[in-house]
Amino acid sequence: MKKIILIIVVAMLSLLTFLYRIEVLSFVKNLEAQSVGNIMMTIGTLIVLKGLFAVIGFPGTPLTLLSGSLLGNLLGTITALVGNTLGATLAFLLARYTLREYVQNMLLAKYPTLKIYEERLERKPLATVIALRLIPLFPFNVLNFLFGLTSVSLKQYIVGSFFGMIPGTFLFVYFGESLRMLSPVNVLFALIGIVLLTYVGKFYEKKF
């Protein structure tokens, strides 16, 4: 049943992209015009915004898509990945040293499933962080704060988050680039890739 729902969602998103291709193209063209000649400023702005969004709990996916549409796959992925890692690190530090009581009372109570992974984080911290980044078990921003309550070290957290976020970040950037190109086929490939990544992450999560 879940597979059928995923297929329907992918098909619907691809169809909407095709039907509203003129509006999407116009929006992206305006953004591209503003970023021409200011690549470094665009990169810096996206990184800072993604870092800020992660700290305040605002979804960063639109900015990841924007990174792809404005900067292309390679530069867009690097930019989004740096921004995601920066925001994740700041949220982690806030939870561990400043907002610990708030995170325990507000977030951990809503996501008690994290406690299941406490033993794994002690045994294999790096592998567990990578696995949880690969699979969308928790919302990205929430997971940033929840990790601050665990025993994982800052170094292991940063390294695990960085490498664990690479596949997902690339796929969303590729999605954004596909929207700019108005290629329904590429959009479909990107969405299928995101779905497959979920299953790959779940498989990997069971192996450690």
| Radius of gyration (C-alpha) of the chain in whole angstroms | 18
Q: How far apart are CA 67 and CA 65, in angstroms?
A: 5
What is the four-CA torsion angle of 75, 77, 81, 83, rounded to 10 degrees? 60
Q: At 48, list the tokens.
A: 């800072």
The answer on pLDDT for 6 being more than 50 is no
Q: How far apart are CA 46 and CA 50, in angstroms?
A: 6
Amino acid at 88: A
Contact between 64 and 176 under an 8 Å Cβ cutoff? The reply is yes
Render pLDDT for 129-146 as a digit per residue (tens, 0 to 9): 988 888 766 678 888 888
Render pLDDT for 154-193 as a digit per residue (tens, 0 to 9): 999 999 999 999 988 998 898 888 776 766 777 777 777 7
Render pLDDT for 71-120 as a digit per residue (tens, 0 to 9): 888 999 999 999 999 999 999 998 888 877 777 777 777 777 777 777 78
- Band (pLDDT 50/70/90 cuts) for residue 202 is low
Contact between 192 and 125 under an 8 Å Cβ cutoff? The reply is no
